[in-house]
């Protein structure tokens, strides 16, 4: 098996895996509105100030347990208990509470003691607004109490709220409802830095309640220019022990609810580069519940904790922010496992490459240059293998006449033919698989880099030069007749043609595959992120340069096909 054949197999595999991604319909951005109630834009829909009880329900309707899901094109119908039905209400009316730090602007409401807006100040969506983690009209981190008689959603319970400062410059927001033996308290501690928030929940006076649920019910709005990035990455995520479960909307075609049992370390939702997850206390047995709707493409996840003898007091950590591997690794709780760094076997290599890129970026503040350096280093490291591969392919080319003669002589005797072939290889000291060894060795590097460059948030909106202003998306320079023109894949096509001309081959079938390879490469890589295409283009340029040097050092390796 020569290098061209193995490359074709690799690229064909990528086509099968990613083909569906490139032809999904692209949703259009929302039309502007002149509604005076609009106060912010999420990039998916405009947020309005609506104090009505229906505005407090999640996008999917009430969470499971009396769940009603939203049908496409219809208003959300919730089954929350009417205000006062829980017997816990203390406040007279709904009022918002805003907490703002250097990293985010959060808006809470005392109706349910929930979050109804969470804007990340350091990240913008495609429309220039801060990235929003809460869909318009939704609220998150609401409480649902479970009992044999049914579930009670406290999303419409009116809490009293109290906001106070902390010595470190942070804020403590306390929501309380109920008097006497029956009460609920939710305390948010929001530090001045970072995206991690502490949430304390205390319940008492609920003898018939067996447990409660809390989590992120309505998914996260799209935050990327390319809608395919949202469609391919949106999902509920749960870490059970050391195993991460990712449930995309299509997992809920047959069932709207998926219970997950095990050691739940955290549960929540994600899109391409951002997530909202709840981390339950480690010393308490917990379960998780994932739910979704394949029609609306909304998903949610909640953790479930027990209530014993009518009371509970638990402390949670809540992470609402970017999926930055280094930041999440430093925080702990296994949050770094949320970042998709490829298959388990390649993950250590992906971590090494990402760490190396971050280190290089610390003194070369351009990720495009960092990618070029990584590509050059990999080619230098594998140069001895490349040289050996080219010599092996040239030796196989010289043996083609004798191999053809053997095939004719032993046409009906495959066993004898194989024995004679092996004798021929041994006589001339030729390794028949030597030509494909470099590509086999480099495959783990390619897969690891693909995962890093495709899923690392450091690539998001990272510019390189000129028109390449986002290494996480294709490098579109113009759109002609509705067709996007991407420059790097075209450059890659040219160097792939040159590379095939410099690759020795005496087999007509291999020559034909070599002629097709540039077009296959162009088709596959055309919609890839600019960062990955930059790496592969530099790799191809270096391969051509190495082939030219090797041919000069050993003219006997020069391919006859390229001079014909």
**284-340 pLDDT, tens digit each:** 878 999 999 888 888 999 999 999 999 999 999 999 999 999 999 999 999 999 999
- Taking the C-alpha atoms of residue 324 and residue 336, their distance in angstroms, rounded to an integer, is 8
pLDDT of residue 225: 80
- Residue that wins the pLDDT comparison between 112 and 435: 112
pLDDT of residue 64: 38
pLDDT of residue 79: 39
Query: Are 136 and 251 within one domain?
Result: yes
Q: Which of 199, 202, 198 is nearest to 184 (CA)?
A: 202
| Helices 508-525 + 3-18 axis angle, to 10 | 30
**129-140 pLDDT, tens digit each:** 999 999 999 999
Query: Are 304 and 371 within one domain?
Result: no
455, two tokens: 């899923």
Any residues with CB less than 8 A from the CB of 248 and at least 6 apart, and which?
234, 235, 299
CATH of the domain at 76: 2.70.98.90
Query: Are 312 and 372 within one domain?
Result: no
Full residue range of the structural domain in which residue 383 is found: 350-563
**Average pLDDT value for residue range 549-558:** 65
469, two tokens: 């202003």
pLDDT > 70? residue 481: yes
- Taking the C-alpha atoms of residue 339 and residue 326, their distance in angstroms, rounded to an integer, is 10
Domain assignment present for 296: yes
**411-433 pLDDT, tens digit each:** 877 888 888 788 887 877 777 66
Domain assignment present for 5: no
Query: Are 391 and 292 within one domain?
Result: no
Domain assignment present for 439: yes
pLDDT > 90? residue 232: no
- Taking the C-alpha atoms of residue 183 and residue 179, their distance in angstroms, rounded to an integer, is 6
**Average pLDDT value for residue range 69-76:** 30
- Taking the C-alpha atoms of residue 10 and residue 222, their distance in angstroms, rounded to an integer, is 31
Percent of the chain with pLDDT over 90: 44
Query: Are 500 and 459 within one domain?
Result: yes
Query: Are 272 and 367 within one domain?
Result: no
Domain assignment present for 23: no
pLDDT of residue 415: 84
370 close to 364: Cβ distance less than 8 angstroms = yes
Q: What is the 3-state secondary structure (H, E, C) of 506-562?
A: CCHHHHHHHHHHHHHHHHHHCCCCHHHHHHHHHHHHHHHHHHHHHHHHCHHHCCHHH
Total structural domains in the chain? 2
Which residue is associated with the tokens 């913008």?
A: 124
534, two tokens: 């930059």
In angstroms and rounded to an integer, the radius of gyration of the C-alpha atoms of the chain is 29
Domain assignment present for 418: yes
173 close to 187: Cβ distance less than 8 angstroms = yes
Weakest mean pLDDT among 221-235, 269-283, 385-399 = 385-399
pLDDT > 60? residue 563: no
Query: Are 367 and 318 within one domain?
Result: no
Give first-to-last CA distance, the chain, whole Å.
Answer: 24
Domain assignment present for 145: yes
Mean pLDDT value across the chain: 80
* 86 pLDDT tier (thresholds 50, 70, 90): low
Strands 235-240 and 312-322: unpaired
pLDDT > 60? residue 110: yes
Query: Are 144 and 95 within one domain?
Result: yes
**187-207 pLDDT, tens digit each:** 999 999 999 999 999 999 999
pLDDT > 60? residue 82: no
- Residue that wins the pLDDT comparison between 334 and 181: 334
- What residues form DSSP beta bridges with 144? 153, 213
Percent of the chain with pLDDT over 70: 79
Domain assignment present for 534: yes
pLDDT of residue 70: 33
70, two tokens: 């939203």
Query: Are 134 and 242 within one domain?
Result: yes
**Average pLDDT value for residue range 205-219:** 94
Enter the DSSP assignment of 81. Answer: P
Domain assignment present for 338: no
Query: Are 91 and 228 within one domain?
Result: yes
Query: Are 151 and 245 within one domain?
Result: yes
Query: Are 429 and 382 within one domain?
Result: yes
* 126 pLDDT tier (thresholds 50, 70, 90): confident
Query: What pTM was computed for the model?
Result: 0.77
* 96 pLDDT tier (thresholds 50, 70, 90): very high
Q: Which of 91, 312, 73, 125 is nearest to 202 (CA)?
A: 312
Question: Residue 454: left (phi > 0), alpha (psi -120 to 50), or beta?
Answer: alpha
CB-side neighbour CA atoms (13 Å) of 443: 16
């Amino acid at each position: 098996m020569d290098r061209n054949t193995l490359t074709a197999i690799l690229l064909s595999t990528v086509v099968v895996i990613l083909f569906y991604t490139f032809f999904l319909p692209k949703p259009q951005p929302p039309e502007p509105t002149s509604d005076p109630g609009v106060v912010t834009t999420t990039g998916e829909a405009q947020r309005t100030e609506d104090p009505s009880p229906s505005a407090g329900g999640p996008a999917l309707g009430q969470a499971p347990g009396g769940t009603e899901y939203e049908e496409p094109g219809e208003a959300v119908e919730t089954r929350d208990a009417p205000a006062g039905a829980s017997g816990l209400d203390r406040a007279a009316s709904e009022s918002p509470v805003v907490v703002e730090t250097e990293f985010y602007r959060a808006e809470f409401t005392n109706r349910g003691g929930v979050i109804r807006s969470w804007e990340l100040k350091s990240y913008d969506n495609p429309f220039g607004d801060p990235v929003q983690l809460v869909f318009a009209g939704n609220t998150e981190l609401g409480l649902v109490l479970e009992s044999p008689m049914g579930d009670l959603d406290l999303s419409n319970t009116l809490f009293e709220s109290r906001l106070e400062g902390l010595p470190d410059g942070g804020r403590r927001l306390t929501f309380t409802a109920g008097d006497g033996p029956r009460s609920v308290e939710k305390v948010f501690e929001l530090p001045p830095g970072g995206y991690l928030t502490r949430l304390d929940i205390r319940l008492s006076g609920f003898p018939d309640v067996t447990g409660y649920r809390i989590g992120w019910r309505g998914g996260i709005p799209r935050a990327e220019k390319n809608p395919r990035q949202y469609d391919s990455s949106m999902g509920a995520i749960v870490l059970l022990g050391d195993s991460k479960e990712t449930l995309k909307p299509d997992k809920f075609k047959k069932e709207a609810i998926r219970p997950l049992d095990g050691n739940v370390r955290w549960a929540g939702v994600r899109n391409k580069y951002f997530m909202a997850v709840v981390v339950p206390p480690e010393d308490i047995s917990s379960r998780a519940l994932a739910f979704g709707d394949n029609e609306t493409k909304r998903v949610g996840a909640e953790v479930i904790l027990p209530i014993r003898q009518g009371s509970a007091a638990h402390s949670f950590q809540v992470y609402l922010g970017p999926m930055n591997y280094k930041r999440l690794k430093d925080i702990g709780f296994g949050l770094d496992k949320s970042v998709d760094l490829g298959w388990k076997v390649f993950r250590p290599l992906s971590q090494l490459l990402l760490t190396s890129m971050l280190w290089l970026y610390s003194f070369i503040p351009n990720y495009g240059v960092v990618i070029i350096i990584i590509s050059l280093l990999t080619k230098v490291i594998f140069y001895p293998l490349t040289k050996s591969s080219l010599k092996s392919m040239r030796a196989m080319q010289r043996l083609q006449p004798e191999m053809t003669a053997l095939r004719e002589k032993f046409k009906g005797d495959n066993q004898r033919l194989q024995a004679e072939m092996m004798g021929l290889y041994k006589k001339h000291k030729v390794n028949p698989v030597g030509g494909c060894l470099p590509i086999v060795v480099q495959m783990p590097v390619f897969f690891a880099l693909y995962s890093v460059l495709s899923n690392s948030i450091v690539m998001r909106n990272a510019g390189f030069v000129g028109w390449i202003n986002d290494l996480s998306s294709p490098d579109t320079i113009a759109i002609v007749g509705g067709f996007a023109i991407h420059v790097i894949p075209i450059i890659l096509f040219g160097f792939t043609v040159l590379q095939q001309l410099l690759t020795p081959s005496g087999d007509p079938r291999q020559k034909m595959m070599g002629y097709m390879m540039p077009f296959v490469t162009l088709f596959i890589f055309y919609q890839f992120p600019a960062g990955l295409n930059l790496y592969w283009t530099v790799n191809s340029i270096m391969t051509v340069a190495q082939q030219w040097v090797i041919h000069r050092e050993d003219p006997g390796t020069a391919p006859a096909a390229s001079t014909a």
